[in-house]
Amino acid sequence: MAIQSINPFTGQVIAEYKETSLKQANKKISQTHDAWLEWKLTTFRERARLLKNAASVLYNRKNELAELMALEMGKPLKQGISEIEKCALACDYYANNATAFLKDEIIKTDASKSFVSFQPIGVVLAVMPWNFPFWQVFRFLAPALMAGNCGILKHASNVPSCALAIEEIIREAGYPENVFQALLVPGKQVDKLIEHPLIKAVTLTGSTEAGKTVAAKAGSLIKKTLLELGGSDAYVILEDADLELAAETCVNSRLVNSGQSCIAAKRFIVVKSVEKEFTRLFLEKMSKKVLGDPLDPNTDIGPQARADLRGQLHKQVKKSIEAGAKCILGGKIPKGEGALYLPTILTKVKKGMPAFDEELFGPVAAVISAKSEEEAISIANDTNFGLGGAVFTKDLARGEMIAKTKLNAGSCFVNSLVKSDPRLPFGGINESGYGRELGVYGIREFVNIKTVYIK
């Protein structure tokens, strides 16, 4: 069978690839394991040299790769360039810091010498989504390669060109053959990949349902998993917030990747005394964003990645309106070809509506009123998710206290949109997943934390 790459702005097929058979996939996994037997013996110096090469390739090809993302999944060009630059930053970060992160730790005991050593575990399967087709892969791959592991990628089926481009980047950087390979297999084959005895662990970024399926399968085989799943991030706007800053930041967060981001803000919980003014500013700033061709450098919002995803989003919006939400912007599918969706603001959103309870993966914002700080925090935490959250207040001590002790999420920001950073751990709680990527914690997720005791 063929795997098609379809431009979501035009609906045209731009490339076709032959699907990787299960037999071919098994062979590639074995090849990658054989490569690992040599790769795990390389020095940190050599691993860092090659990872810096990968960073250089990314920087040099950023415009080309950003265009590829625009064509294949609709990411606005300027956001695609930033994504590639971030991948290169992660490569440089781990090249510079992995030696210190994985250095043996001496522990004093009754032994003459005892210490903890961090050893690679083998081939890690990465099941990755389409929304950040390079960043999601490199935030796993950079630390995995520096730790001495190797990788097999099962990318989302609508971004096969991006998957193969990543394999090409690793090859161009000078890595040994087969330390990283991409498989063009359908989602139904993931269970078979996990079953392969040479796959030692699985990392997945995707929906909560996909995470449950992968975790169940890997768990039945006693294979470690790391899951970064969906989110319904809440931004709390308090009565003393800088409303200009809050509105601008909230709009930018909601429209990251045309609204198709796990950590894009979804629910905006505003203390009633400033709700009217915040909503006015929010509407004003959202209305100015440009919807259109992702290859146009002026475009802020590109198409949704697939027509079916846009259809699902529109159903969630309609159901929320039918349940009592008020649409003050957008809420419609524009005429013409492609999977565009108008930037949308819903007010009077309450629990029981899709806009409150579910993840709306697109440019749709839900404004929710709260009587007080306590009620706002209660509403923010009233979710099955727990990926990110933010609070806006001029009192930084108050904001820090709320972010640290009151908001339930893996990442909590004050007066800023939630974003991932190679230097900071990233991940969620509850149905947003478990485990951490990035920072020192990320590189230690897929290593054998080994105790060595010498009497």
In the sheet that holds 447-454, the strands lie side by side as 105-106, 113-120, 447-454
Catalytic residue among 72, 83, 228, 358: 228
Residue 129, pLDDT above cutoff 90: yes
87 labelled catalytic: no
91 labelled catalytic: no
Task: Work out the pLDDT band at 77, boundaries 50, 70, 90.
Answer: very high
Q: Domain 2-229+429-454, what fold?
A: Aldehyde Dehydrogenase; Chain A, domain 1 (3.40.605)
Question: How confident is the model over 263-267, as a mean pLDDT?
Answer: 95
Catalytic residue among 150, 162, 250, 262: 262
* Torsion sign, CA atoms 303, 305, 311, 317: negative
In the sheet that holds 150-154, the strands lie side by side as 180-183, 150-154, 123-127, 199-205, 224-228, 433-434
Per-residue tokens: 426: 């990233």
Residues 140, 145, 148: CA angle, nearest 5 degrees: 130
Task: Work out the pLDDT band at 336, boundaries 50, 70, 90.
Answer: confident
Residue spans per domain, the chain: 2-229+429-454, 234-414
What does the pLDDT read at residue 353? 97
Does this chain's domain 2-229+429-454 share its CATH topology with 234-414?
Answer: no
| Contacts (Cβ under 8 Å, ≥6 apart) of 47 | 95, 98, 145, 146, 148
CA distance 409 to 396: 19
Show the 3-state SS of 233-281. Answer: CEEEECCCCCHHHHHHHHHHHHCHHHHCCCCCCCEEEEEHHHHHHHHHH
The string over 308-345, giving b where at least 16 C-beta atoms fall within 10 Å of a residue's C-beta and e elsewhere, is ebbeebbebbeebbeeebebbbbbebeeeebbbbbbbb
Question: What residues does 342 pair with on adjacent strands?
Answer: none
Question: How confident is the model over 101-111, as a mean pLDDT?
Answer: 98
Question: How confident is the model over 197-208, as a mean pLDDT?
Answer: 97
The CATH number corresponding to 234-414 among 3.30.450.40, 3.40.309.10, 3.40.50.12780, 1.10.287.110 equals 3.40.309.10
Residue 189's CB is within 10 A of a number of other CB atoms, namely 16
Question: How confident is the model over 32-56, as a mean pLDDT?
Answer: 98
Question: How confident is the model over 292-308, as a mean pLDDT?
Answer: 96
Task: Work out the pLDDT band at 13, boundaries 50, 70, 90.
Answer: very high
What does the pLDDT read at residue 1? 74
* Residue for token pair 């998957």: 163
Task: Work out the pLDDT band at 414, boundaries 50, 70, 90.
Answer: very high
Mean per-residue pLDDT over the chain, rounded? 97
| Contacts (Cβ under 8 Å, ≥6 apart) of 37 | none
Residue 408, pLDDT above cutoff 80: yes
Question: How confident is the model over 204-217, as a mean pLDDT?
Answer: 97
Tell me the pLDDT tens digit for each residue of 131-187.
999 999 999 999 999 999 999 999 999 999 999 999 999 999 999 999 999 999 999
Question: How confident is the model over 82-86, as a mean pLDDT?
Answer: 98
